[in-house]
Amino acid sequence: MNDYIVATRLLVSGVRTEAEVNQALQSMYDVFTELGLGQATFEVTETGPARLWVKHLDSVTVDVNALNAALAEAGEFRIVSDD
């Protein structure tokens, strides 16, 4: 079976500024390595939660609880949806 790179979208509250994006991404850096996740990027809009896109192999399940724990250590950030 081939492993393909896919993206998972998570909605994150509390991330509004460039500084918060950097803070949130830095907090997840080590967790990403442990979980086998790849690149991540935020899309921030004027309203609503930020969109966090996480790249990973399709055989890897994104551990939302682990990411939430890392985000909580960095600030008032929380995953509010993992659609």
The tens digit of pLDDT for each residue in 30-65 reads 899 999 999 999 999 888 999 999 999 999 999 999
Q: How much is the pLDDT for 1? A: 63
Phi first, then psi, for residue 72 (nearest 5°) are -65, -30
Residue recorded with tokens 């390595």: 33
pLDDT at 83 > cutoff 80:
no
> Looking at the 3D structure of the chain, how many domains does it have?
1
- What is the pLDDT averaged over residues 11-35? 94
Largest CA distance in the chain: 42
Residue recorded with tokens 């399940």: 61
CA distance 21 to 17: 6
Percent of the chain with pLDDT over 90: 87
CATH label of the domain that carries residue 73:
3.30.70.100
pTM, to two decimals:
0.90
Phi-psi sector, 72: left (phi>0), alpha (psi -120 to 50), beta? alpha
Range of the domain at 16: 5-81
